[in-house]
């Protein structure tokens, strides 16, 4: 208590003068700025590569930087280039430095698992650390701002961008958002290894109708507040410096001009003190949305609603001055946006040293950094999810026998290198030779007594079956077959929605053909989203979901195959049986006619041709060992709304033959509410390590805050009543307790 008071006192003493100085500095600067210079700060240009949309012609970019007409650049990296552009900015009248932004999504020089894959680790400190390393590497390249983390809740795997986030759950997504923001921002802006984080895409971008990227979103404000906004609020609470508005409209109002989310929620209610950047061209896109008749109106609507910086649409640059002259936009509105941006530049330390992120020696240290690679390997191992490991001849196939084995490694990903990065990895062509292929990874783990055979079998996405015969030949010689299949890295990510989530091309046919040889098969699935692979689930004894794991993919996968690492990942999204079940998420509302089980079809909410349950549920994942969760205890059967606190504990035992990690998950259900409540909601999780035979008590603290929800008047309330609590291995947890929330 005393210690925390001391820390608060210290922060007040230390931070207050910093804030006062920043305010004073920025106010002074602002008072010296012309309107043109102010508008310049709101304008962000792309560099010369990495475009994710149409580039609007900008004339002589360098000249404009010198004139103070540009506040920030994106897609410019490397000390030399950054230094060159910064030097131009310093030739402007007021010498206001540029901020350099970049999509540093899952690593920079060292690539980590795609964010959805890493989320499967359920290991917050791991996620914080990978963001920390990514920030350190990127900052050394002159970058001061990453457009990450993506904190969009995603319940539709057709949407290609599910790969960038933490999946379908709001509570989990909020925790991950905080970990990643902390990781990117490190000790705080101003440290040379920190970059500003950007929570995106504000808001509800993941709820695009039909899972089609950029599509509209139509949902109740209650749903928006309850499910989609909390990860953004969590990011704000963690001190995120910026947010990015999304492309979609929400109930008819494009997010980029949506004053409900930008002004009312973000800036007023959540007291966000950073700035909002539009998504690429999203201000100008309001014209094609049919929400603005031209760039003039688009700029008016966006600035009025609270979008501070214009990424690549040029509407602010071209129209704000006239809007002020016409009396449509008060200068105070522009001042507010400029001030938010300048304050961040100040916090980054750019005014005291505009080149502080430009250091050749620091930059050189990031290339092939062995410590970072070691971490990437661990990160990859922990992201892998073991979906199946059935016994064959009385013993699960995995982990593999380490010696005297002939292993056939088959599939289009076995020798791939760059593909292991997945989408949204920054490409440094000279790094590709340093990416560990799955073949190389496994080869390194096997001793001389084992033989590793290889056949490509087929390509990722065409109809060519000419490699099948070789695959069959190789499989016939082996004791065990490992097939590595999946989707191509550019089949998930931005603008990569898919309506068919099966293995592309002839991969499924390859799997069936090779399985028919009769050798035991292990399947590795490389993907950026939940795929549909029912045949494999039914017929293949062992399946590992390996996502896209980055630089060290091959080593991470091999570590899990041979058992030097026991897999511990759990799915952050429900895996559907067919596309017809989508959207599919565990925390749906109860209907008035819920099905008792998958066989119940009698006038209940069900499909006549399909079970309701997913192929693999949220929170699911196996281990080489087994865990027993028992003895659920509640510290009381009542919790007062005022100051209440309930302790929920279980005993977890490692009942198998390996040491391992388990993610113990706690879910609640509010039985009766003034609005219908979800059938389950995750409210806590703990990842623990247990040696074989070891028992540990795991405790969770629940408070009334965990039970709050939005009523129909959008008030965030606690409601007295009966709650059920479930603890276990996944969202199917069956150990149950009950308590009352009382006045
Ligand atoms: C568009 C994407 O939606 C966004 O996530 C990204 O940060 C920007 N392009 C910049 O590349």
Measured in angstroms, how far is the CA atom of residue 278 from the centroid of ligand 1? 9
Quote the distance between the C-alpha of residue 396 and its chain's center: 32
Start-to-end C-alpha separation, the chain? 28
Cα atoms found within 13 Å of the Cα of residue 588, Cβ hemisphere only: 18
Burial of 500 (0-12, 13-18, 19+ CB in 10 A): exposed
For the Cβ of 108 lying below 6 angstroms from any atom of ligand 1, the answer is no
For the Cβ of 103 lying below 6 angstroms from any atom of ligand 1, the answer is yes
CA distance 453 to 401: 16
Tell me which DSSP letter residue 574 carries.
P
Q: How far is CA 484 from CA 112, 119, 158, 386, 513, in A?
A: 19, 22, 22, 14, 14
Question: What residues are paired with 722 via a beta bridge?
Answer: 740
Burial of 465 (0-12, 13-18, 19+ CB in 10 A): middle
Task: Give the tens place of pLDDT for each residue, 610-642.
Answer: 999 999 999 999 999 999 999 999 999 999 999
CA distance 712 to 689: 42
CA distance 639 to 742: 6
Q: Which residue has the tokens 């005993």?
A: 651
Q: Which two tokens stand for residue 526?
A: 């490389």
For the chain, give every residue range classified as CATH 3.40.50.1700.
370-576
For the Cβ of 357 lying below 6 angstroms from any atom of ligand 1, the answer is no
Q: Residue 381: which of 553, 635, 175, 498 has the closest Cα?
A: 553
Tell me the whole-structure pTM to 2 decimals.
0.96
For the Cβ of 285 lying below 6 angstroms from any atom of ligand 1, the answer is no
For 627-742, CATH number? 2.60.40.10
Residue 187 has pLDDT above 60, yes or no: yes
Task: Give the tens place of pLDDT for each residue, 307-335.
Answer: 999 999 999 999 999 999 999 999 999 99
Share of the chain above pLDDT 70, in %: 96
| Among 365-374, 520-529, 656-665, the least confident range | 365-374
State residue 11's pLDDT score.
47
| Beta carbons within 8 Å of 18's beta carbon, 6+ residues apart | none
Residue 674 has pLDDT above 70, yes or no: yes
Task: Give the tens place of pLDDT for each residue, 32-51.
Answer: 999 999 999 999 999 865 55
Question: What residues are paired with 134 via a beta bridge?
Answer: none
Measured in angstroms, how far is the CA atom of residue 197 from the centroid of ligand 1? 13
Q: What's the CA dihedral at 645, 647, 648, 652 to 10 degrees?
A: 150
Quote the distance between the C-alpha of residue 280 and its chain's center: 19
370-576 falls under which CATH superfamily? Glycoside hydrolase family 3 C-terminal domain (3.40.50.1700)
CA distance 715 to 712: 7
Q: Which residue has the tokens 């990127």?
A: 138
| Cβ atoms of residues 234 and 200 within 8 Å | no
Q: Which residue has the tokens 């909002």?
A: 276
Task: Please name the residue whose Cα sits nearest to atom 4 of ligand 1.
Answer: 279
Q: What is the DSSP string of 613-677?
A: S-SB-TT--B-SS-EEEEEEEES-SEEETTT--EEEEEEEEE-SSS-EEEEEEEEEEESS-SS--
Task: Give the tens place of pLDDT for each residue, 684-742.
Answer: 999 999 999 999 999 999 999 999 999 999 999 999 999 999 999 999 999 999 999 99
For the Cβ of 662 lying below 6 angstroms from any atom of ligand 1, the answer is no
Tell me which DSSP letter residue 112 carries.
-
Ligand 1 pocket: which of 204, 255, 279, 282 to mutate (most atoms within 8 A of CB): 279
Cα atoms found within 13 Å of the Cα of residue 520, Cβ hemisphere only: 21
For the Cβ of 52 lying below 6 angstroms from any atom of ligand 1, the answer is yes
| Cβ atoms of residues 662 and 621 within 8 Å | no
State residue 430's pLDDT score.
72
If pLDDT is split at 50, 70 and 90, which confidence band does 77 have? Answer: confident
Task: Give the tens place of pLDDT for each residue, 210-241.
Answer: 999 999 999 999 999 999 999 999 999 999 99
| Cβ atoms of residues 398 and 563 within 8 Å | yes
Q: Is 527 helix (H, G, I), strand (E, B) or coil?
A: coil
Q: What is the mean pLDDT of residues 159-164?
A: 98
Q: Which residue has the tokens 């590709």?
A: 432
In total, the chain counts a number of residues equal to: 743
Task: Please name the residue whose Cα sits nearest to atom 10 of ligand 1.
Answer: 280
Measured in angstroms, how far is the CA atom of residue 542 from the centroid of ligand 1? 37
If pLDDT is split at 50, 70 and 90, which confidence band does 57 have? Answer: low
Average pLDDT, the chain: 95
Q: Is 233 helix (H, G, I), strand (E, B) or coil?
A: helix
Measured in angstroms, how far is the CA atom of residue 422 from the centroid of ligand 1? 16
For the Cβ of 214 lying below 6 angstroms from any atom of ligand 1, the answer is no
Helices (H), 186-314: 221-223, 230-237, 259, 285-289, 295-305
| Cβ atoms of residues 626 and 661 within 8 Å | no
Closest approach atom of ligand 1 to CA 75: 11
Region of residue 454 (left: phi > 0; alpha: psi -120 to 50; beta: else): beta
| Cβ atoms of residues 118 and 127 within 8 Å | yes
- Residues with catalytic function: 279
542-545 and 521-526 beta bridge pairing:
parallel
Q: Which two tokens stand for residue 28?
A: 């002074």
State residue 465's pLDDT score.
98
State residue 434's pLDDT score.
87
Residue 7 has pLDDT above 70, yes or no: no
Task: Please name the residue whose Cα sits nearest to atom 8 of ligand 1.
Answer: 280
For the Cβ of 280 lying below 6 angstroms from any atom of ligand 1, the answer is yes
For the chain, give every residue range classified as CATH 2.60.40.10.
627-742
Residue 670 has pLDDT above 90, yes or no: yes
If pLDDT is split at 50, 70 and 90, which confidence band does 1 have? Answer: very low
| Cβ atoms of residues 570 and 627 within 8 Å | no
For the Cβ of 51 lying below 6 angstroms from any atom of ligand 1, the answer is no
Closest approach atom of ligand 1 to CA 147: 7
For the Cβ of 494 lying below 6 angstroms from any atom of ligand 1, the answer is yes
Helix (H) or strand (E) holding 410: strand 406-410
Strands (E), 442-573: 451-455, 480-486, 521-526, 542-545
CA distance 587 to 597: 16
Closest approach atom of ligand 1 to CA 148: 7
CA distance 438 to 388: 20
Ligand 1 pocket: which of 49, 54, 73, 103 to mutate (most atoms within 8 A of CB): 103
Tell me the helices (H) and strands (E) count for the chain, helix number first: 21, 28
If pLDDT is split at 50, 70 and 90, which confidence band does 8 have? Answer: very low
Q: How far is CA 137 from CA 194, 369, 562, in A?
A: 10, 9, 31
Closest approach atom of ligand 1 to CA 205: 3
What is the chain's percent helix, strand, coil content, to nearest 5? 35, 20, 45
Measured in angstroms, how far is the CA atom of residue 91 from the centroid of ligand 1? 29
Task: Please name the residue whose Cα sits nearest to atom 7 of ligand 1.
Answer: 147
Measured in angstroms, how far is the CA atom of residue 595 from the centroid of ligand 1? 41
CA distance 400 to 381: 16
CA distance 328 to 688: 58
Closest approach atom of ligand 1 to CA 200: 5
Closest approach atom of ligand 1 to CA 101: 10
Q: Residue 690: which of 593, 598, 624, 641 has the closest Cα?
A: 624
For the Cβ of 310 lying below 6 angstroms from any atom of ligand 1, the answer is no
Share of the chain above pLDDT 90, in %: 92
Ligand 1 pocket: which of 138, 199, 205, 280 to mutate (most atoms within 8 A of CB): 280
Quote the distance between the C-alpha of residue 131 and its chain's center: 11
Closest approach atom of ligand 1 to CA 198: 7
Task: Give the tens place of pLDDT for each residue, 379-399.
Answer: 999 999 999 999 999 999 999
| Cβ atoms of residues 228 and 153 within 8 Å | yes
- The number of beta carbons lying within 10 Å of the beta carbon of residue 642 is 8
| Beta carbons within 8 Å of 9's beta carbon, 6+ residues apart | none
Residue 473 has pLDDT above 90, yes or no: yes
Q: What is the DSSP string of 284-349?
A: THHHHHTS-SSHHHHHHHHHHHT--BEES--HHHHHHHHHHHTTSS-HHHHHHHHHHHHHHHHHTT
């Amino acid at each position: 208590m005393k210690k925390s008071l001391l820390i608060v006192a210290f922060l007040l003493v230390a931070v207050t003068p910093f804030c006062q100085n920043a305010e004073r500095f920025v106010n002074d600067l602002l008072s010296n700025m012309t309107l043109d210079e102010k508008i310049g700060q709101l304008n962000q240009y792309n560099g010369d590569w990495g475009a994710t949309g149409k580039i609007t012609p900008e004339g002589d970019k360098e000249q404009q930087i010198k004139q103070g007409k540009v506040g920030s650049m994106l897609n410019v990296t490397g000390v030399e280039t950054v230094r060159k552009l910064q030097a131009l900015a310093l030739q402007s009248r007021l010498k206001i430095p540029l901020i350099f932004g970049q999509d540093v999504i899952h690593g920079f020089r060292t690539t980590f698992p795609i964010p959805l894959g890493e989320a499967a680790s359920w290991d917050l400190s791991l996620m914080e650390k990978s963001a920390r390393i990514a920030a350190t590497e990127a900052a050394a390249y002159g970058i001061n701002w990453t457009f990450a983390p993506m904190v969009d809740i995603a319940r539709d795997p057709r949407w290609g961008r599910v790969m960038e986030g933490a999946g379908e759950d709001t509570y989990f997504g909020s925790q991950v958002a905080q970990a990643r923001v902390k990781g990117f921002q490190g000790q705080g802006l101003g440290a040379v290894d920190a970059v500003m984080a950007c929570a995106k895409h504000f808001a509800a971008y993941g709820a695009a109708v039909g899972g089609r990227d950029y599509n509209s979103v139509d949902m109740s404000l209650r749903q928006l507040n309850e499910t989609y906004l909390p990860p953004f609020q969590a990011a704000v609470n963690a001190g995120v410096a910026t947010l990015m508005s999304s492309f979609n409209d929400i109930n008819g109002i494009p997010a980029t001009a949506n004053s409900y989310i930008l002004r009312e929620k973000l800036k007023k209610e959540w007291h966000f003190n950073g700035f909002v950047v539009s998504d690429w061209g999203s201000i100008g896109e309001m014209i094609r949305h049919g929400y603005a008749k031209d760039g003039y109106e688009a700029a008016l609507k966006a600035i009025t609603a609270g979008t501070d910086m214009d990424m690549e649409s040029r509407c602010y640059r071209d129209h704000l001055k006239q809007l002020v002259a016409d009396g449509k936009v008060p200068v105070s509105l522009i001042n507010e946006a400029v001030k938010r941006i300048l304050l961040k530049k100040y916090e980054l330390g750019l005014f005291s040293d505009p080149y502080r992120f430009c250091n050749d020696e620091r930059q050189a240290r990031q290339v092939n950094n062995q410590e970072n690679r070691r971490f990437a390997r661990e990160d990859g191992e922990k992201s892998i999810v073991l979906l199946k490991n059935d016994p064959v001849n009385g013993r699960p196939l995995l982990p593999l026998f380490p010696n005297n084995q002939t292993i056939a490694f088959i599939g289009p990903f076995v020798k791939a290198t760059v593909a292991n990065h997945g989408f949204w990895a920054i490409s440094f062509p000279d790094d590709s030779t340093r990416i560990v292929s799955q073949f190389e990874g496994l080869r390194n783990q096997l001793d001389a007594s084992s033989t590793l055979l290889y056949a490509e079998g087929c390509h990722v996405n065409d109809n060519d079956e000419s490699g099948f015969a070789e695959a069959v030949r190789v499989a016939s010689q082996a004791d065990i077959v490992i097939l590595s299949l999946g989707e191509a890295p550019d089949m998930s990510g931005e603008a990569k929605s898919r309506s068919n989530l099966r293995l592309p091309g002839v991969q499924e046919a390859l799997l069936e053909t090779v399985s028919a040889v009769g050798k035991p098969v292990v399947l590795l699935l490389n993907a950026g989203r939940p795929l549909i692979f029912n045949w494999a689930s039914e017929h293949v004894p062992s399946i590992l979901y390996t996502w896209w794991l980055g630089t060290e993919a091959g080593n991470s996968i091999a570590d899990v195959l041979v058992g030097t690492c026991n897999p511990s990942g759990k799915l952050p999204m429900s895996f559907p049986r067919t596309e017809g079940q989508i959207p599919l998420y565990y925390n749906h509302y109860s209907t008035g006619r819920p099905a008792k089980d998958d066989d119940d079809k009698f006038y209940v909410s069900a499909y006549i041709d399909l079970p309701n349950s997913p192929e693999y549920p949220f929170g699911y994942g196996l281990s080489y060992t087994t865990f027993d969760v028992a003895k659920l205890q509640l510290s009381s059967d009542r919790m007062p709304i005022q100051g209440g606190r309930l302790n929920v504990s279980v005993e977890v035992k490692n009942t198998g033959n390996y040491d391992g990690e388990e993610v113990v998950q706690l879910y609640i259900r509010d039985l009766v509410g003034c609005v219908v409540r979800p059938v389950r909601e995750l409210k806590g999780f703990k990842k623990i390590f247990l040696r074989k035979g070891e028992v540990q008590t795991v405790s969770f603290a629940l408070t009334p805050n965990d039970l709050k929800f939005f009523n129909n008047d959008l008030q965030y309330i606690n409601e007295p009543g009966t709650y059920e609590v479930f603890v276990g291995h996944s969202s199917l947890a069956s150990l149950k307790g009950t308590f009352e929330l009382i006045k």
